[in-house]
Each structure stands twice: as C-alpha cells, then as structure tokens.
Amino acid sequence: MLSEQVPDVDENERVSVTNLGHGLYQVTAHYGFMETPNVPEVLEKAAARYGLPHFPSQTSYYLGRETLLTSGQSRMFRWRKTLFSFISRNARSATQYFGIPADRVVELGMQINL
C-alpha cells in the first residue's frame, strides 16, 4: 500500500502488479490520503485486471503485532510510557484498518520494552 499526496486515486491507477517469477507476484495499491485501504478489494481487482489466481477462502494474511511493555530502562518518564502504551493498545487494529477478514489472519507478536 502506498499513500499518495492526493485525496483520492483514480480506480484505473489503483493497482499495479509485478511478476517476481516462480508463481509470486507483487501487488501494489495506491490510495489517496482521504481513502481507506481495503486489501481483499485490491486482490480482487488485481485478479480481474491481470488474471492473477485469487482464492479468497484460501488466502492467509500475515500481520505483525507489537506489545509495548513499560518496564524497560529508557529515560522516558514512566507516565509517558504508560500513556503511549495505552494509546497503542487502543488504536484500531491493522485487520480492521485494511478491511482484512479476521478469520484469515495470522498474527506474529513481539514484546518491546520502553
């Protein structure tokens, strides 16, 4: 996903595909700063426009998730660490933001000491 410097991107310019060989493709989606990305929609458009194989019920999405711990040795004040950690926990998840079906997501996690 690339965020462009315009409010919205024309549908004809939204998706581009690069064949990486061995059955792998790089799909790049361009969105304006006022638009909300939708990954399944991008994959459908790439399949229709470029003839890529696409099986929504067999597609898995891999996402990273960080858990911020306030017990680290950084020089940041403890109340700031706690506030930052709270805001991070309450932010909208990548699954929701990118419109990814929750039952198709695999999350890989990491704990970070602040």
pLDDT one-digit tens code per residue, 26-75? 999 999 999 999 999 999 999 999 999 899 999 999 999 999 998 888 88
pLDDT of residue 72: 83
**Which one of 34, 58, 82 terminates a domain?**
58
Whether 45 and 15 map to the same domain: the answer is yes
- H/E run at residue 43: helix 39-50
**Which one of 58, 74, 103 terminates a domain?**
58
* This prediction's pTM: 0.80
Whether 67 and 51 map to the same domain: the answer is no
Length in residues, the chain: 114
Whether 15 and 54 map to the same domain: the answer is yes
Total structural domains within the chain? 2
Per-residue pLDDT tens digits for 76-89: 898 999 999 999 99
Whether 54 and 69 map to the same domain: the answer is no
89: helix, coil or strand? helix
State yes or no: pLDDT of 102 exceeds 90: yes
Whether 33 and 80 map to the same domain: the answer is no
Domain residue limits at 104: 61-113
- Between CA 102 and CA 41, with CA 11 as vertex, the angle to 5 degrees is 15
